[in-house]
Structure 1
Amino acid sequence: MHKSVQARVAMLTLLATSVAAQAATVALSNTAPVYDPSVVKTSVYNKTYQESGAVDGDYFGWAVPSKWYNISYCIDAANTDCAVDATQWARVTPPWVSSTSTDKALKFVPQKLASDGTGIQYILPLPFVLNARYRISMRLGTTPGNANAVQVAMMGKTSWDYAAMARTFDIPANKAYVDVEMKGVYTGSAGGAVQADTRTLRLFPRKAGLPIYVDNVKVEIMNADPLNPGSDVSAATSTVPLLMDTKMFGLHVNELGSHNAWPALSQEVLRLWGTDSSYWFAIQPTNDPDPSHWNWSQVDYRVNYFRSHNSSGSIIYTLGQTPAWASSNPNQTGCAYGTGVCAPPTNDADFKAYVKATAQRYLGKIQYYEIWNEPGWAGFFAGSPAKLASMTAVAKQALKEVDPADTYKLRLIGPAVGDIWMDQYLRAGAGVNLDIFNVHQYISPVTIEADVPAGIANAKLMMQAYGLKLPIWNTETGASCGDYGVLCPANYAPSDSVLRGVESRSLAVQWANSVSNVDYFFMEGWGPTWEGLVQRADPGINCANTGPDYCTPYMPLQPMGAGFAKAAAWLKNAKLSSAYKMTTPDIYIFKFTTSLGAKRYLVWTTAASAQTVTAPSTWASKTVTDTAGVVTSLGSYTAAFTLKPNEPLLISP
């Protein structure tokens, strides 16, 4: 080839490469996409059951989408299973039309319920999409003159799984049917994990022997904002701009005593849970009514530890874990912290005395009281939702009696439970006694941006269903793989830079979804060594399974801890003006103003590969800072820079 030809080819190649590079550069959007969650995006299922033929269904062999199945987990105290009989259901003429009408509905007749009121389930497998918002409507009827109730839920295949959303609907005795509607985001299982099994719509009848008629079932995906699918649901903290409350930076310090470290994490909240010495059974081990005789030493130690380092910070005390002498079943097995402690107390007076004594002792030191930890799991609480609702009223009254003028603003935080349990708890009247709505939203470092908005949207929708308007707190969270249903890819080994970005991503997304408290579980870490915020003396020791002297001190910050501190430095007391996900590629943009009034932009991508981007000229960008604190100067307002997957950058004018 002639040299001049070679030169021209080289020049054309260089030009093509330059054009390709330019084409690959993404201009960051300055405008949030518009979504309207009242608009239907996709119709998934729409049936009026007019077609002829038998109802599809059997015992456990169900999996075909769009066909109804009958399944029984109805083992009662006598170990008697509920019979599954095809004659229990049929396609019939419903009672709200003429007997000569051709209109049909599905008729289900639950023969027997388990002792806890559950058991029989009618299941419709549907291709639910993870983290999509749904509107589900149907007609529910029963025999005229009889009141009935049906709980409707979206959930995965396993019967024990947390529901994505659940709602109980009453069919009054004076009505043949009710037309009902439920809204929710499909989260699959606890933590929003991807579950490789059938996704379902389920009906849980609440009375045995009475028929349930079902018709006009419609399932629709709504056009909701993927970063905030509950954007249309008002909450007490949902005004814009949103303040990044200092209470967003909370911790559990569960191994205090084997160390006295106070790492530089800018922590503002301490939640007392996961320490045996803070439970009711440890404080009042015997039926001695005099609180001055109780064992307060370890709670005193933890309260004083925190307040000596942060006198203006907040403490959450989690009520619960019943002493044997007060337990309604002191022989209850399966309790996480000892036989009988997960059973509710026999007498409300004993529980009230415990709450009052705790609130009086720590008046001016502990402001927030959480009503039990995760009572939806029998290992923590073996009582019913209705029982905890009555205990919630008792606790609220106790706090009012300690501070009748509300001088110290003692506040009661609700329990963090799955939506099937929460629906029954609020249905029992608990909401009127709550000051704060609570979730425990664990995250995977891989799927923060999907998991968090879905879970918080369902919390908002649940509150809306019961007429509540409360702040939303996340009093227990953690970045995990394999715990609480949170999943990661096989052999997941995140880089230090990804770990440093986890808390900025998590807190920013929760900020945009109106959450005003987040408490990391826990500082010292458990499971994978990268979960902890601080470095153990011996990373090979599993601190969750060893004695009290296992590893000290906990001083150096791990990448996750460094990211926690950096998130606090960037975001604490900031005001969010806008947050959105670009439609393509997967880039997230948060616009906010710092506590000093300076404009900042937090940007990252969850795309599989790095993205070369440019900021809008109106941002007047001068520098980008990564979570390690490395500052890069930009040559111009629109100079290109690189976003690496899951590594946030702070853009400063």
Structure 2
Amino acid sequence: MNMTHPKAILRIIGRPAMKFLCAVSLALPGAGAQEAESRMGLNFVRFGGASVNTDWDEIDEVMPDLLDLGCRTIRQVAGADVSWWETYQGGAYDDPASYDFSSPDQAIRNNYGIAMVPTLFQIGGDMAVMAGAPDATRLYTPDGDVLDVSLPAVEAKVRGYVRVTAERYLGEVHYWEIANEVGAYGSYSSVLYADLLGVCADELKSVDPTNQVVVGGIAGTVDQVFYNHTDWLESVLNAGGGSAIDIHNCHYYDTWDLQHSAMGYLTAMLASHGEGGKPLWATELGSSYLPSSVAPHTPTGSEEEQAADVFRKFTVAVGNGVRALYWHTWFSSSESPNYTWSGFGLRKSTGDSVRSYVTYGLYASKLSDVLSCTAISTGTGGLWVYRFEIAEGPGVVRRWVAWCGDATGTASYSLTEAETATVLVTEVVPDAAGNLTTSTFDPAALILTPHPILIEGDCQLPEAYGAGKVTSLGTEPVLGWSGTASLTANNLELTTSSAIPGQFALMFHGDNRASTPLFGGTLLVAPPLVRMGVVVLDGDGAVSQAVPVDAALIGGSWCFQMWFRDPTHPDGTGVGLTSAVEAFFCL
């Protein structure tokens, strides 16, 4: 593919892929917002003086492209992070006038609604040395002091820097990573880091109790490094650091087939220390499209393998409980296979996109809003199959990702839990022009290869429409769904939420939509109406009702809405009405 400017997106990646990507960008928060918890991101984004391509160096060139990809959050913005090696200008550490935040302001206060997870202190040892650190074996203050907060003078510097930074971005940033891959600094002990975490948590939460401390990601350039750094993190927990950590964080660059066991090792360790209930993020997952024996490259690197890795590595991570995914990186720094970090981008250093660009967008649009991910098979017989439960508006949708190991080559697979008579199968690796291929298959006769497929039910999803009448409690009642309106699955359920607890409710349906004033709200279903029976809302004002599907319904649709009692409503009607859902019935 050849893509050298954001305006070329529509021409290059193909209409099907762009339809997916646009759907994601419409769901992003407004400018300056930070999501409750990031789900899709990119690591080490470059712009300005750190850019490797002058055609992509302005924030108004970078951010729209990230939006189209479905990227919601950025981490480690080269030259524009909050590292004190870049922001601190000299003077008192607790004085805002001692800092220059003009570069991170551009990244954090962008007008595109893309959130940022800043890295406090420093991104990496080499970068700190270039900025003046004595060496790359420890964390240092800009004055050259080892970052030992048991020393009052050092503690004061840390508290001043953290407080000034957190106060500047109060309400704009809620997630703060405390340095990066700290286990790689061979002479900086886990005890020193545990103490540092405690001081940072104290200052961050004193500025804003909702601030979250993200532990510096444990490295995973190769498989053994991941295990070594997991053990180092355990020593941080043994030193008491766990009490300051809100979110755990890991990186992995070795092959996907080793990733599953490595992440299992990490999650088991965390669970053994009572840390298993905390969110786990993977803020660096990646592979290179350039073949090389220089780690973390692989000799089999290619555009096709990198695109497949986006789905394989993301899926294996989520299947191990990871809640936020960041790909390294957006823009490759070099095309030389002998450079450690060349070829890891979704774009080449020339600006041309590679196949993984489309694959990342597909994952973002179809799987990022995951509610749960269940492993059906993790290598048994060479098969890797995962079930995703995805939030789709007010509904819940099932999708699957499947592939087989390289040694298996090709395998037949029967998806016995398919919810429709046929399924839609998308090959996640696009062709050379960036187009995705989607076909219809019998779920009992799927063909798996080492390149993953995305499996979806071949049935139009229910559509939510209209707005519920605001209740006497100030809530807006919503009608949602779970399951599929198919005869095969027969598991469609309509779910009412945010209504009045303990009150009677009545679901009704009709053949067509409407928008007619009724009881101070809106009747969203056209008469004649068919009532489904009276139910009682639970203590949260919620209830679920099954909708049986029979053969006579196939090919048609019904529109549903819920009526319920709201005795104290100020309009005197005593009536509440939800939003509506149209369900489309299929085999």
The 1:282/1:616 distance shift into structure 2, 3 A limit, reads closer
Q: Partners in 1 of 2:301 and 2:443 — Cα distance?
A: 35
Q: Partners in 1 of 2:133 and 2:425 — Cα distance?
A: 60
The 1:518/1:425 distance shift into structure 2, 3 A limit, reads same
Give the secondary-structure state (helix, strand or coil) at the position aligned to 2:381.
coil
Name the amino acid aligned to 1:347: V
The 1:317/1:559 distance shift into structure 2, 3 A limit, reads same
When structure 1 is superposed on structure 2, of 363-372 and 343-352 the one drifting more is 343-352
Q: Does 1:460 align with 2:263?
A: no
Q: Does 1:348 align with 2:348?
A: no
Q: State the TM-score, normalized to the length of structure 1.
A: 0.51
Q: Does 1:576 align with 2:372?
A: yes
The 1:651/1:401 distance shift into structure 2, 3 A limit, reads closer
Q: Does 1:431 align with 2:230?
A: no
Query: What is the RMSD of the two structures over their aligned residues, measured on CA atoms?
Result: 3.3
1:625 to 415, 426, 431: 426
Match of 2:359 in 1: 563
After superposition, where does 1:283-432 map in structure 2 within 5 Å?
283-289=87-93, 290-305=95-110, 308-310=111-113, 313-321=114-122, 332-334=134-136, 343-344=146-147, 347-378=154-185, 382-403=187-208, 406=209, 409-417=210-218, 418-432=229-243
Q: How far does residue 376 in structure 1 lie from its aligned partner after superposition?
A: 1.5
Kept in 2: contact 1:501–1:648 (CA 8 A): no
Match of 1:536 in 2: 349
- Quick check: which has more Rg, 1 or 2? 1
Give the secondary-structure state (helix, strand or coil) at the position aligned to 1:645.
coil
Q: How far does residue 497 in structure 1 lie from its aligned partner after superposition?
A: 3.5
Q: Does 1:590 align with 2:386?
A: yes
Match of 1:58 in 2: none
Q: How far does residue 608 in structure 1 lie from its aligned partner after superposition?
A: 3.3
Give the secondary-structure state (helix, strand or coil) at the position aligned to 1:376.
helix
Q: How far does residue 277 in structure 1 lie from its aligned partner after superposition?
A: 5.7
Q: Deviations over 1:487-509 (max 9, x none)?
A: 63x3x243x44332211111111
When structure 1 is superposed on structure 2, of 347-356 and 500-509 the one drifting more is 500-509
Q: How far does residue 274 in structure 1 lie from its aligned partner after superposition?
A: 4.5
Match of 1:607 in 2: 406
Give the secondary-structure state (helix, strand or coil) at the position aligned to 2:38.
helix
2:280 to 457, 467, 472: 472
Q: Deviations over 1:574-603 (max 9, x none)?
A: 333631326653111112333333332221
Q: Deviations over 1:103-148 (max 9, x none)?
A: xxxxxxxxxxxxxxxxxxxxxxxxxxxxxxxxxxxxxxxxxxxxxx
Which structure is higher in helix share?
A: 2
Q: How far does residue 354 in structure 1 lie from its aligned partner after superposition?
A: 0.5
Name the amino acid aligned to 1:531: F
Identity across aligned pairs (percent)?
A: 21
Q: Does 1:449 align with 2:262?
A: no
Q: How far does residue 411 in structure 1 lie from its aligned partner after superposition?
A: 0.3
Q: How far does residue 471 in structure 1 lie from its aligned partner after superposition?
A: 1.2
Give the secondary-structure state (helix, strand or coil) at the position aligned to 2:363.
helix
The 1:614/1:279 distance shift into structure 2, 3 A limit, reads closer
Unaligned 5+ runs, structure 1: 1-244, 538-553
Match of 1:92 in 2: none
Match of 2:506 in 1: none
Q: How far does residue 437 in structure 1 lie from its aligned partner after superposition?
A: 1.5
Q: How far does residue 637 in structure 1 lie from its aligned partner after superposition?
A: 4.9
Q: Partners in 1 of 2:251 and 2:293 — Cα distance?
A: 12
Q: Partners in 2 of 1:472 and 1:524 — Cα distance?
A: 25
Kept in 2: contact 1:280–1:320 (CA 8 A): yes
Name the amino acid aligned to 2:147: P
Q: Partners in 2 of 1:645 and 1:626 — Cα distance?
A: 11
Q: Does 1:648 align with 2:444?
A: no
The 1:384/1:304 distance shift into structure 2, 3 A limit, reads same
Give the secondary-structure state (helix, strand or coil) at the position aligned to 1:507.
helix
Q: Partners in 1 of 2:449 and 2:231 — Cα distance?
A: 39
Q: Partners in 2 of 1:503 and 1:297 — Cα distance?
A: 33
Q: Partners in 2 of 1:647 and 1:342 — Cα distance?
A: 49
After superposition, where does 1:268-279 map in structure 2 within 5 Å?
268-272=72-76, 274-275=78-79, 278-279=82-83
Q: Identify the structure with bigger relative contact order (alpha carbons < 8 Å, sequence gap 6+).
A: 1
Q: Partners in 1 of 2:377 and 2:202 — Cα distance?
A: 44
Q: Deviations over 1:581-640 (max 9, x none)?
A: 266531111123333333322211123354252534652333211123211123x454x4
The 1:642/1:467 distance shift into structure 2, 3 A limit, reads closer
Give the secondary-structure state (helix, strand or coil) at the position aligned to 2:118.
strand
The count of corresponding residues between Structure 1 and Structure 2 is 369
Q: Deviations over 1:369-395 (max 9, x none)?
A: 1111111122xx853221121111111
Kept in 2: contact 1:443–1:477 (CA 8 A): no
Q: Partners in 1 of 2:293 and 2:330 — Cα distance?
A: 16
Kept in 2: contact 1:499–1:563 (CA 8 A): no
The 1:618/1:295 distance shift into structure 2, 3 A limit, reads closer
The 1:473/1:331 distance shift into structure 2, 3 A limit, reads closer
Q: Does 1:522 align with 2:329?
A: yes
Give the secondary-structure state (helix, strand or coil) at the position aligned to 1:585.
helix
Kept in 2: contact 1:621–1:651 (CA 8 A): no
The 1:246/1:482 distance shift into structure 2, 3 A limit, reads farther
The 1:637/1:560 distance shift into structure 2, 3 A limit, reads closer
Q: Deviations over 1:478-524 (max 9, x none)?
A: 22477995463x3x243x44332211111111111111112222211
Q: Partners in 2 of 1:614 and 1:376 — Cα distance?
A: 42
Kept in 2: contact 1:318–1:370 (CA 8 A): yes
Q: Does 1:251 align with 2:32?
A: no
Q: Partners in 2 of 1:353 and 1:564 — Cα distance?
A: 39
Q: Partners in 2 of 1:484 and 1:622 — Cα distance?
A: 41
Q: State the TM-score, normalized to the length of structure 2.
A: 0.57
Kept in 2: contact 1:604–1:647 (CA 8 A): yes
Q: How far does residue 646 in structure 1 lie from its aligned partner after superposition?
A: 2.7
Kept in 1: contact 2:108–2:115 (CA 8 A): no
